[in-house]
Amino acid sequence: MTVYLDANIVIYLVEADPVWGAKALTRITTLQAAGEMIVVSDIHRLECLVGPFILGDVAAQVAYAAFFADPAIRVLPVVGGAFERAARIRATHHFKPLDALHLAVAVEQGCGLFLTNDAQLGRFTDVPVELLT
């Protein structure tokens, strides 16, 4: 199975959030040990790097570069069909644009699970959504 990480999960992990970072690492490690492929998309660079760029946090920028280069993490491209699907998701569920686009990429790429900490995304049913706990 392919597991798509929402941007909040990546941020918790890379920035070592004191509460959620360990939970994200534990869940991802468990998934990888079970043979699951962990994926993100090019969209993550936009969401994850804003804070480090605003703050001039070079260490965080380097940490994200290492995350995206990690061979255990596959970075998926965002293809044209994902944008139309994202528009349909927004029209139906009224999610924020980037949330809809993340979900659309997960569906378009055939992911079997979407891991997030955003409870509202649990209303989406085109891919199983798991809330980090």
Q: For residue 89, name the pLDDT band (cuts at 50, 70, 90).
A: very high
Query: β-strands 113-116, 73-76: how paired?
Result: unpaired
Q: Say if residues 120 and 9 touch (Cβ distance below 8 Å).
A: no
Instruction: Check residue 79 and give its pLDDT.
Output: 87
What are the residue ranges spanned by the domains of the chain?
A: 2-131
Max CA-CA distance within the chain?
39
What are the Cα distances from residue 64, in Å, to 51, 78, 86, 97? 11, 19, 25, 22
Domain 2-131, CATH among 3.40.50.1370, 3.40.50.2020, 3.40.50.1010, 3.20.20.80: 3.40.50.1010
Mean pLDDT of 2-29: 97
Query: Letter for the amino acid at 25?
Result: L
Is the model's pLDDT at 42 over the cut of 90? Answer: yes
Q: What is the distance between the alpha carbons of residues 2 and 70, in angstroms, rounded to a whole number? A: 16
